[in-house]
């Protein structure tokens, strides 16, 4: 009796076939890990390291000279303006459309939901061409708008429209699953206690979707700042006037000479740094959303 209490229980015997299956699974897992790591290194890490190396190949002084130049600062300001307006518009649209699609049933609801995803499923170049056909000088509304003194294409409004379109569903697609999972019980309870529509949204709906909304806003901002194709078509890319950071990188890289190359690498480094910060923010927000 004493020996039985003193000795720990022997682990259950494992069948040899189970042990061999576990060893095969372990080897397969290691192979998959190595393939995944090699894939990420080849596609992401090495290009990023290469850009950093070329950016600082001649030290910090040339980089600082590029970052304080008039054309770079103008491109940075225009990028911030275009991306900021696009994110605000997409946030308002995403929250409103998310509540509409989840809380209400109406004819054509699925069609509307599918059409919202259309801009991200087609080429940004096509989005830019479509905007010119509608808002260009010889488009459906472009002539009338220009006669009224409001130019869309080859101006900031056209760049904002292009950026809004290519990032349209990003906020919406983060909010919809959270709203569907939350249900309507809490909102009905608030309504039974006398809360109006705004109070129900502010005190019930918004706290429910806050982390999904924050994730969608960060994702939309990252996409808006990195947009190139559609903005390229509708902007004209004039240095100091209608050139965003992505256009600045492209135009500088296509020029000859070490100065132009240095400008391209410095601007590309800034875009990558902004993207890394946004990725860190997204990674920090995702666990909070999961816990909620």
How is the chain split among helix, strand and coil, in percent rounded to 5?
Answer: 80, 0, 20
Q: State residue 89 phi and psi, 5-degree precision.
A: -65, -45
Closest to 266 (Cα-Cα) out of 62, 46, 103: 62
- Cα 85 from chain centre: 15
The two structure tokens encoding residue 285: 């927000």
Closest to 224 (Cα-Cα) out of 117, 137, 120: 120
Q: Tell me the C-alpha distance between 91 and 213, whole Å.
A: 8
The DSSP symbol for 8 reads P
Contact 188, 237 (CB under 8 A): no
Contact 83, 224 (CB under 8 A): yes
Query: Tens of pLDDT along the chain (292 residues)?
Result: 444 445 556 666 666 666 666 666 677 888 888 898 888 888 888 888 888 888 888 888 888 988 999 999 999 999 999 999 999 999 999 999 998 988 888 888 888 888 888 887 888 899 899 999 999 888 888 888 888 888 888 899 999 999 999 888 889 988 898 888 888 888 888 888 888 888 888 888 888 888 889 888 988 998 898 888 889 899 888 888 888 999 999 888 888 777 888 888 999 999 888 888 888 877 776 655 555 4
Rg of the chain taking only CA atoms, in angstroms? 26
pLDDT value at residue 2: 45
Q: Tell me the C-alpha distance between 130 and 161, whole Å.
A: 11
Q: Tell me the C-alpha distance between 42 and 47, whole Å.
A: 8
The two structure tokens encoding residue 24: 């095969």
């Amino acid at each position: 009796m004493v020996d039985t209490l003193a000795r720990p229980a022997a682990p259950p015997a494992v069948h040899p076939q189970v042990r061999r299956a576990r060893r095969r699974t372990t080897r397969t897992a290691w192979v998959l890990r190595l393939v995944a790591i090699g894939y990420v290194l080849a596609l992401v890490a090495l290009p990023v390291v290469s850009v950093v190396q070329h950016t600082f190949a001649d030290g910090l002084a040339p980089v600082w000279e590029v970052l304080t130049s008039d054309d770079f600062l103008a491109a940075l300001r225009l990028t911030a303006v275009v991306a900021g307006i696009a994110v605000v518009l997409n946030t308002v649209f995403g929250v409103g459309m998310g509540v509409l699609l989840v809380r209400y049933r109406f004819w054509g609801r699925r069609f509307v939901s599918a059409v919202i995803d259309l801009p991200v499923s087609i080429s940004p170049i096509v989005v830019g061409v479509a905007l010119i056909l509608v808002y260009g000088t010889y488009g459906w509304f472009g002539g009338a708008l220009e006669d009224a003194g409001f130019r869309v294409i080859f101006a900031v409004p056209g760049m904002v429209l292009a950026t809004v379109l290519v990032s349209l569903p990003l906020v919406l697609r983060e909010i919809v699953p959270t709203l569907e999972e939350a249900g309507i019980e809490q909102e009905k309870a608030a309504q039974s206690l006398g809360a109006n529509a705004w109070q129900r949204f502010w005190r019930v709906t918004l706290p429910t979707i806050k982390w999904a909304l924050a994730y969608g806003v960060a994702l939309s901002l990252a996409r808006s700042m990195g947009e190139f194709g559609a903005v390229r078509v509708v902007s004209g890319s004039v240095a100091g006037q209608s050139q965003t950071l992505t256009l600045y990188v492209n135009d500088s890289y296509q020029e000859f000479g070490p100065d132009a190359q240095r400008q391209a690498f410095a601007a590309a480094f800034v875009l990558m740094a902004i993207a890394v910060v946004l990725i860190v923010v997204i990674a920090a927000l995702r666990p909070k959303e999961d816990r909620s």
